[in-house]
């Protein structure tokens, strides 16, 4: 047996599985067992320590619950420094806490997830607000229906769903993040088995971790989640929910193919799980070969919980979105929403309703699609021309981001790249933020063109080039 894992049991009342747990915890904290070290199999450690397998399983389960180890399907069990991901998140978030709006202007910001404020039609929206106040008076400023303003719910059904649903099927929320939060509060229990894409949106990971769920990751392929791996997992585990993004997935920018969507729905019916579909940036399709058909629109079995945010493309400060859930979950979700905040801003809901009904939404989306298509193509060109020797990426054909993989000849982690870029007034998003095990994101980073014009894109990519060219093995 490797001496690193030699455990001398104490002759006392402390159960052996607790002593094993304490041994590994202490040595991982001290760095004697390093981040990413492969731990013995249950069978091997059971044999080496002369204890039964249940003892090892109980010890490993406790370590996993507390964040000291993680499983790789088909590969083994690995050590994790408990606070390593928290440290990365803290370093990343503190960057933006310390940069007020004025200071941020001195940086090239490739981290944005929402449209540039310069594109928001302030004059039109000011008139919309005045028209709402003239039309609705004091009602525009008071709490009313907890489901959301009826006029907005009717407009959503009419404009986005061709009246397939009823107004009472729609629940207005304060953006996609609140949608995920109330789904977790209303439907998800501790120790539920949840599947997410690998990698995935860090805000969803945070919610599922907060609920103490068992999170399983399935690799993302060029057309969506690997369904063979998913079905293998479904045969072994009772999965309750799958969280995914069908268009320009965050962070990989992958879009699901129609065949994969249909297969997912069949699997949901066969294995009795539900899909949480976060419809992310689907308005920004630049590649004409990409067809918009949400999972919810294809759902014959009522297995999809649909989340849509208006904040990413309208104005982040307005904080509006909506949720459509299967009939069996309506009451639980509505109660969770009431317990969260009772009601979303009445004035903003009415303003969005009028914005939709007067045709401004369609015009604004056409404008954004045109403007961001130009930026998308410019950033893509810059990546190929300047960074082709150092990186790989898939062309998303839409959205606001590129997800970049560093080639093997580049000797730098994405967190180190983040720090060096920040020192040169460029902000990127390190890939570790999107993985349950942050080390799997060491070779990835995300860059966005949402807040940058062509000049900033060119300058920022040049900074990244200079750093990577000095990091070749």
Q: What is the pLDDT of residues 215-231, one digit of tens each?
A: 999 999 999 999 999 99
What's the CA dihedral at 266, 270, 273, 278 to 10 degrees? 0
Is the pLDDT at 111 greater than 90, yes or no? yes
**Three-class SS state of 31:** coil
Which of 314, 336, 361 delimits the end of a domain?
A: 361
CATH number at residue 50: 1.10.10.10
Residue 117 lies in a domain: no
Q: Which one of 68-82, 136-150, 269-283 scores highest in mean pLDDT? A: 269-283
Say how many domains are in the chain: 3
**Three-class SS state of 200:** coil
Domain identity same for 67 and 98: no
Range of the domain at 175: 122-361
Residue 310 lies in a domain: yes
pLDDT in tens, 130-186: 999 999 998 888 766 788 999 999 999 999 999 899 999 999 998 899 999 999 999
Instruction: State residue 316's pLDDT score.
Output: 66
For the chain, percent helix, then strand, then coil, each to nearest 5? 50, 15, 35
Give the percent of the chain with pLDDT over 70.
95
Domain identity same for 315 and 179: yes
Dihedral sign from CA coordinates of 62, 68, 74, 76: negative
Instruction: State residue 14's pLDDT score.
Output: 87
Domain identity same for 152 and 88: no
DSSP-derived secondary structure letter, 34: P
pLDDT band per the 50, 70, 90 thresholds, residue 113 = confident
Domain identity same for 275 and 196: yes
Contact of 253 with 394, CB cutoff 8 Å: yes
Domain identity same for 147 and 277: yes
Beta-bridge partner residues of 405: 392, 444
């Amino acid at each position: 047996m490797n001496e690193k894992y030699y455990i001398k049991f104490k002759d006392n009342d402390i159960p052996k599985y607790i002593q094993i747990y304490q041994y590994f915890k202490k040595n991982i904290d001290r760095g004697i067992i390093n981040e990413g070290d492969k731990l013995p199999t249950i069978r091997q450690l059971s044999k080496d320590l002369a204890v039964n397998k249940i003892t090892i399983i109980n010890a490993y389960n406790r370590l996993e619950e507390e964040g000291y180890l993680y499983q790789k399907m088909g590969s083994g069990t690995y050590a994790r420094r408990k606070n390593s991901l928290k440290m990365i998140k803290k370093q990343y978030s503190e960057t933006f806490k310390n940069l007020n709006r004025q200071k941020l202007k001195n940086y090239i910001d490739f981290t944005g997830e929402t449209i540039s404020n310069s594109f928001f039609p302030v004059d039109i929206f000011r008139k919309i607000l005045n028209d709402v106040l003239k039309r609705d008076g004091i009602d525009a400023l008071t709490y009313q229906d907890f489901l959301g303003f009826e006029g907005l719910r009717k407009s959503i059904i009419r404009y986005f769903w061709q009246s397939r649903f009823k107004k009472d099927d729609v629940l207005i929320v304060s953006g996609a993040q609140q949608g995920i939060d109330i789904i977790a509060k209303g439907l998800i229990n501790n120790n539920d088995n949840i599947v997410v894409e690998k990698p995935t949106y860090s805000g969803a990971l945070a919610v599922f971790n907060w609920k103490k769920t068992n999170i399983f990751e399935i690799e993302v392929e060029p057309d969506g989640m690997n369904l063979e791996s998913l079905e293998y997992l479904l045969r072994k585990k009772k999965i309750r929910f799958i969280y995914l993004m069908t268009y320009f997935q965050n962070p990989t920018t992958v879009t699901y193919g129609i065949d994969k969507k249909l297969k997912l729905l069949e699997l949901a019916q066969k294995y009795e799980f539900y899909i949480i579909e976060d419809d992310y940036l689907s308005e920004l399709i630049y590649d004409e070969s990409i067809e918009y058909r949400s999972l919810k629109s294809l759902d014959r079995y009522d297995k999809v919980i649909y989340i849509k945010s208006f904040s990413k493309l309208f104005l982040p400060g307005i904080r509006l979105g909506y949720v459509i859930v299967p009939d069996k979950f309506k009451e639980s979700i509505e109660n969770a929403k009431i317990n969260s905040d009772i009601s979303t801003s009445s004035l903003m809901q009415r303003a969005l309703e009028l914005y939709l009904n007067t045709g401004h939404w369609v015009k604004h989306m056409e404008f954004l699609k045109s403007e961001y298509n130009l930026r998308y193509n410019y950033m893509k060109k810059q990546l190929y021309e300047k960074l082709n020797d150092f990186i790989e990426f898939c062309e998303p054909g839409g959205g606001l981001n590129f997800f970049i993989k560093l080639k093997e000849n580049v000797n730098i982690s994405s967190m180190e790249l983040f720090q060096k870029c920040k020192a040169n007034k460029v902000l990127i998003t390190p890939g570790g933020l999107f993985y349950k095990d942050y080390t799997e994101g060491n070779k990835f980073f995300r860059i966005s063109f949402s807040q940058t014009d062509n000049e900033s894109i060119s300058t920022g990519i040049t900074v990244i080039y200079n750093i990577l060219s000095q990091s070749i093995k």
